Amino acid sequence: MDFILIALKLIVALGILNVWLLRSGKATAYRGRDAKNLREEFAAYGLPFWFMCVVGVLKVGLALALLVSLWIPELAQPAAIGMGALMLGALVMHLKVKDPLSKALPSIAVLAMCVVIALM
What is the per-residue pLDDT across 66-96, written as a single tens digit (0 to 9) for each? 999 999 999 999 999 999 999 999 999 999 9
Q: Which residues of 67-104 are buried (b: 16+ CB within 10 A; e: fewer)?
A: bebeeeeebbeebbebbbebbeebbebbeeeebeeebb
By percentage, how much of the chain surpasses pLDDT 70?
99
Instruction: Write down the pLDDT at residue 1.
Output: 67
pLDDT averaged over every residue in the chain: 96
